[in-house]
Structure 1
Amino acid sequence: MPTSPSEPYDLAVIGAGPAGLAAAVTAAELGLRCALLDAGARPGGQYYRHPAPGLGAAHPERLHHGWSVFAALSDRLAASGVDHLAGHHVWTAEQGEVWRLHATLGPEAADRAVVRARSVLLATGAYERQLPFPGWTLPGVVTAGGAQAMLKAGLVLPGRRIVVAGSGPLLLAAASSLVTAGAAVPAVVEATDYLGYARGARTLATNPAKLLEGANHGAALLRHGVRLRRSSAVVEAHGTDRVTGVTVARLDRDWRPVPGTERRIDCDALAVGHGLLPQIELATELGAETRVTPDGTVALKVDPGQRTSLPGLWAAGETCGVGGADLAVVEGELAARVIAGAPVPAALRRRRERRRAFAELMAAAHRPGPGWTDWLRPDTDVCRCEEVPAARIREAVDELGAGDARTVKLLTRAGMGWCQGRMCGPAVACLAGDPNPRADSRPLACPVPLSQLADPT
């Protein structure tokens, strides 16, 4: 079984997105021996996803916001001496004076590795939150981030006429990318009214770059005649073999559809998402402390130096609460400096505070309202992997006494499928009336071949 060299690394960074790249190159430049582990073949993570060389993209930077930041980090990585361990899916971590990170590299028993390090930084990013509705399993219905990934990595569109819907700043970015690439976007359907941002005027004033970014996306949509429908949601997707249209309805302040406001919009694709969920399973399995963010998601609790509650484990970026690439880069650099025992410039701490404050404001402004469950019909699949409809979950709650997501899972199998609840978990918890949102604890953070579990070493 491949292992790291006999001498452990000073630092192992898990995740090669904005936070992980910034942490790894900063740590190496400060003299630490560093490994950067990532499931992808190339650095960049989900945010800086880019086309494979074989596709011949002449200007991949046109598909991204902030490409120059990634280019600079990539140059620093190439010159840093960091061991970039691509294709490493870390499925568990053993805590100790020297940490042991177990990774799978493929389906064969020999395709695995154990990486040893004195310190670990978790920069695993986030995945999209989905709220189900009738028709959400139809072909042509993709996540908002998935639509961007198809464009950035494959240079393809999920359709030609694409409705973008859900809630959160990712919608504007996705719609802007899609129309720039030639798609028709008849509407961006946002469940909130954006008034939540008005409560944070001071935070907005200290983050002018975020305002400019939003204005640029808005300007691109205006140029292409894209209509923004606020306080509205897609409550049903129509079609048989593929989505052919959606029904959009106005929402009240609790996200309940207002009767009589329904309108159909024809389309051949729907890109939908309701923000992001921090990916923190590696830490929560070990008992790391968490916090509930203003949008109801669960993130790792860290101190001002990005330390988690576990000795030797740091976190940066979306694992600490979703806040975007700029915040992730700042937190990655800050964490690396603390780990290396180097001074942290006051300006870096202030940037972190400003951007984290904006992240909290953004989360509060786009928190889903409790009334979204009124979109569901009894036969609407909530768990698409196990095909568990809303009626069965409500039966488990109303008739069998389930009061939390775990009990619903045991009674209905909701969350036991291939995605392990990543798609349906928030919806199941809401339908269960779970009063204590928490991250699931799983001994395996990603799928692992049984052949690799047979040998415990």
Structure 2
Amino acid sequence: MSETADLIIVGAGPAGMAAAATAVAGGLRVVLVDSGTAVGGQFWRHPPQEARPAIATEDLHHGLREYRALERELSAGRAAGRLDLRLAHHVWSAVREEAGFEVHAVDRREAPQETAVTLRAPRLLVATGAYDRQLPFPGWDLPGVLTVGGLQALLKGGGVAAGSRVVLGGTGPFLLPVAAGLAARGVEVVTVCEAAGPLAWLRHPGALLRNPGKWAEGAGYAVTLARHRVRVRPRTAIIGADGGDRVSSVRIASLDPDGRPRPGTERRIEADTVGVGWGFTPQLDLLIPLGCELADFEDGNTAVAVDDGQRTTVAGLYAAGEACGVGGAPLAVAEGRLAAGSVLIDSSAGPAPGRRTPAALRAEVARQRAFARALALAHPIPPGWSSWLTDETVVCRCEEVTAGAVRAACAEGGARDHRQVKQLTRAGMGWCQGRMCGPAVHCLASPDQRAYTPAERLVATPVTLGALADLDENQQETNKEYR
């Protein structure tokens, strides 16, 4: 299958939905591609359509009015024949060609069968979001230890609580909605360990004052946690987990200013489930091979560099949402609409329709970006977190590479970043391709704490040899047509 459009958008989360709705309203033919079975991404994840009446998850969401409005706009675009929505399509490569971009995907709607799909358009917008950033600790590979994003995905996608006695840890406000959602469904959330101090936000009062909605959201979580007697422990971290077939307890400790456990503060808490999250890492797998410039972000990640219209440094390539730096759904929506407006202008299709002007959207993006920077600075990764690790702690779970092996690669092998560690130890060569261990290996190997940039991957997601064979056959048929 080979298709041509005016614009391809990869990712149907908040940024991709907003971009598609705006571009279609402006008269463009758009292909919207997403690996999920419904639009909304991780932020607006819902149970399957047939299960929604029986599973109540609306209280877990924010911005549902925006989501439903975007759904209506996309439905109107499909009815008008200007939007081609490709769900359950996993994009594994995007390349530049003379006429624009060629996007390769596999259609997994009839899994386990896969069908190769090639999409072409003069312009490409990448809105692939982000994924949970993890820091290892002894016992983090036990069954029952999940990311906080995984816990929330189970709640939103199926109304499933992963355990009955849960401890959460890490840093950032994302811990609060997960704790509140679990507690509201009868789960005993024993404690929430927040590595940052409570006064960190006072250093960034401007960002808080310009975003009063964030205060209201946080207050709502605080009320829920207080009602269910969930204790939040500041400057505290989960430094270990124990158990046999499943996690049975965690070890927590208070942290000093460098993030090292304070002597004498360690305590053990019984739990059957643990959720851990240290922020998010932008999903850049499609963008890095295309050669666009990256920029360091305050949270220790690199993100794609864009101008004030969401254009990357590659002609015809745009980005919106978390790929430009993690900042939340309202920012992603504004960036998606702004990016689509730039596509319309660059395509000579006229200005973007809607009540919000490009200037108003740019102001909204700037305001939300300022809050995202303040958030990153208030909730950093503790510099001394590696002191939690023993040499036997597994860092790369796919290849079973330990912290001791990573340290040896740096001390004896001269490795100075995660790419060199991978060459010496295979850390990052497994099924996840470094998504779980990459940031941690980078922190262990990079003494100057440079921002983390994922390794370049020409294949962004696992793809079967059968799908590649289909791709080859389709290319041969295309060549016959040209001849």
Q: Same fold (TM over 0.5)?
A: yes
5+ residue gaps, structure 1: none
Range with bigger deviation, 443-452 or 302-311? 443-452
Residue 162 (1) aligns with residue 166 (2): yes
Q: 2:2: which partner in 1?
A: 3
Amino acid at match of 1:253: P
Given that residues 9 and 20 in structure 2 are in contact (C-alpha distance below 8 angstroms), is that contact kept between their aligned partners in structure 1?
yes
Given that residues 18 and 325 in structure 1 are in contact (C-alpha distance below 8 angstroms), is that contact kept between their aligned partners in structure 2?
yes
Q: 2:21: which partner in 1?
A: 25
Superposition TM-score, scaled by structure 1 size: 0.96
Between the aligned partners of 2:298 and 2:339, the Cα distance in structure 1 is 23
Task: Describe how 1:243-262 pairs up with structure 2 within 5 A.
Answer: 243-262=247-266
1:109 Cα offset (Å):
8.3
Q: Identity rate of aligned residues, in percent? A: 50
Range with bigger deviation, 336-345 or 206-215? 336-345
Give per-residue Cα distances to partners, 1:103-145, cap 9 Å, x unaligned. Answer: 0124788601011111111100000000000010111111001
Given that residues 396 and 427 in structure 2 are in contact (C-alpha distance below 8 angstroms), is that contact kept between their aligned partners in structure 1?
yes
Superposition TM-score, scaled by structure 2 size: 0.91
Amino acid at match of 2:277: G
Between the aligned partners of 2:447 and 2:45, the Cα distance in structure 1 is 35
Residue 64 (1) aligns with residue 61 (2): yes
Between the aligned partners of 1:360 and 1:296, the Cα distance in structure 2 is 11
Q: Secondary structure of the equivalent of 1:95?
A: strand
Q: 1:221: which partner in 2?
A: 225
1:35 to 31, 37, 40: 31
1:233 to 225, 231, 237: 237
Amino acid at match of 1:120: L
Residue 93 (1) aligns with residue 94 (2): yes
> Across the two proteins, how many residue pairs are aligned to each other?
453
Q: 1:73: which partner in 2?
A: 70
2:324 to 320, 339, 342: 320
Q: Pairwise CA RMSD of aligned residues? A: 1.5
Range with bigger deviation, 98-107 or 70-79? 98-107
Q: Secondary structure of the equivalent of 2:91?
A: strand
Given that residues 89 and 446 in structure 1 are in contact (C-alpha distance below 8 angstroms), is that contact kept between their aligned partners in structure 2?
yes
1:439 Cα offset (Å):
2.5
Amino acid at match of 1:369: P
Given that residues 195 and 382 in structure 2 are in contact (C-alpha distance below 8 angstroms), is that contact kept between their aligned partners in structure 1?
no
Residue 349 (1) aligns with residue 350 (2): no
Residue 445 (1) aligns with residue 444 (2): no
Task: Describe how 1:29-428 pairs up with structure 2 within 5 A.
Answer: 29-55=25-51, 56-57=53-54, 59-81=56-78, 82-96=83-97, 97-106=99-108, 111-341=115-345, 342=351, 344-428=357-441
Give per-residue Cα distances to partners, 1:357-383, cap 9 Å, x unaligned. Answer: 101111111120220000101110000
Q: Secondary structure of the equivalent of 2:229?
A: coil
Q: Secondary structure of the equivalent of 1:285?
A: helix
1:11 Cα offset (Å):
1.0
5+ residue gaps, structure 2: 346-350, 476-483
Alpha-carbon distance change, 434 to 102 in structure 1, aligned in 2, over 3 angstroms: farther
Range with bigger deviation, 60-69 or 414-423? 60-69
Q: Secondary structure of the equivalent of 2:232?
A: strand
Q: Secondary structure of the equivalent of 1:186?
A: strand
Q: 1:429: which partner in 2?
A: 442
1:58 Cα offset (Å):
5.2
